[in-house]
Structure 1
Amino acid sequence: MGHGGDVIAELTSDHEEVEELFSTIEELPSGDEQRKQYADQVTMELVRHSVAEEEYLYPAVREHIDGGDALADKELRDHAAAEQTMKDLEGCAADDPRFDMLMNKLMTEIRAHVVDEENNLFPRLRDACTPEMLNELGDKVRQAKKTAPTRPHPSAPDKPPANKLLAPGAGMVDRLRDMMSGRGKS
């Protein structure tokens, strides 16, 4: 992830990449070890994406959109539910009886979240912000994804300033763990 453009183009491209990974998982037979590898990859992408949204998108929503506090709070609740599902999925092998159920739950949660963001939040943000503001947010989101965690941390703070302070450290630890385990390399 890291595509360029304004924040809406950046995040929409992320959504498309995640959907491609979901489609690949759905095409593989139940129990196939590759499903776990793709699930790890989708988790890595989703966590980075979510952290960047929590650091920059949702504060902008709160600041620039009428009713933005309620909208951002709803999106954060969606993130919390998906992050817990990813945490539960993290401990499952592809042949674990819970794997398919958790993967289906995650896909349902994320697909509903994406539809909500793309049909509700993004148009409202585009109407409320200048193109320059949206481009600046895109740059900030891309930077945040570079240092963001790659593993779910359901107990981590999801609002500034705590999330901006803690996410890079957790990200460094996660990337080290990924490097040592080979997670996300295939």
Structure 2
Amino acid sequence: MGHGGNVIAELTTDHREVDELFEKIQDQPVGDVQRRKLADELTIELVRHSVAEEMHLYPAVRKYVDGGDDIADKEIADHSEVEQHLKDLEGVPADDPRFENLVALLKLEVAEHVRDEENRLFPLLEAACSPEALDELGDKVRTAKKTAPTRPHPSAPDTPPGNKLLGPGTGLVDRARDLLTGRGKS
């Protein structure tokens, strides 16, 4: 969840962890209950990551990067699609045929989003910000992930100030539900 380093290193490490979770899901036999548990872990990581980006990365992109509003709007739209698919996947048993389709769709969408961030957004942000600003953003992203929701909430606000006001409370409720149900524990 928190890796250290500047915002680009932090989020890139998150991207690799998500890639690994997709691989672990695919490595399990079709219909295996472990696939459902891994999909829950994937959901938790993707939601935390997305919320942290929406709270801190995209406002910085809007502020520092030329054309940042358009870039941030596109990334937030990507997140909305992924979050809706995560919501659709929530509770679908691993032996349900929809499970395979939803995981495959998610993998494609997430891979495209990651490529865009790593190949376009991150270099632009790195060129526009000081190393100190990138380090500070990394700290903010790590802090946000600790209190972020762990379940998809497609209708929740995804831009400030709404996301900053509601996110931590929603995150607290999600983590309480996860604790009670054992969700996210392998």
TM-score interval for Structure 1 and Structure 2 normalised by the shorter chain: over 0.9
What's 2:2 paired with? 2
TM-score by length of 2: 0.99
What's 1:73 paired with? 73
State the one-letter code of the partner of 1:108: L
| Partner SS for 2:19 | helix
- Give yes or no for the alignment of 1:18 onto 2:18: yes
**Which 5+ residue runs of structure 1 have no aligned equivalent?**
none
TM-superposed deviation, 1:27:
1.2
The sequence identity of aligned pairs, in percent, is: 67
What's 1:94 paired with? 94
| Partner SS for 1:171 | helix
TM-superposed deviation, 1:105:
0.5
TM-score by length of 1: 0.99
1:30-179 counterparts in 2 under 5 A?
30-179=30-179
For residues 74-122 of structure 1, what are the alpha-carbon distances to aligned partners after superposition, in whole Å with 9 as ceiling and x for unaligned?
0001000000000000020101110000010111110110010000000
State the one-letter code of the partner of 1:183: R
The ranges of structure 1 where at least 4 consecutive aligned residues each deviate by more than 4 angstroms after the TM superposition are: none
Paired residues, what number? 186
Once residues 10 and 32 of structure 1 are traced to their aligned partners in structure 2, the CA distance between those partners, rounded to angstroms, is 32
**Which 5+ residue runs of structure 2 have no aligned equivalent?**
none
TM-superposed deviation, 1:43:
0.3
| Partner SS for 2:159 | coil
Once residues 108 and 36 of structure 1 are traced to their aligned partners in structure 2, the CA distance between those partners, rounded to angstroms, is 19
TM-superposed deviation, 1:5:
0.3
TM-superposed deviation, 1:139:
0.2
TM-superposed deviation, 1:46:
0.5
Once residues 18 and 116 of structure 1 are traced to their aligned partners in structure 2, the CA distance between those partners, rounded to angstroms, is 15
TM-superposed deviation, 1:147:
0.2
Once residues 30 and 133 of structure 1 are traced to their aligned partners in structure 2, the CA distance between those partners, rounded to angstroms, is 45
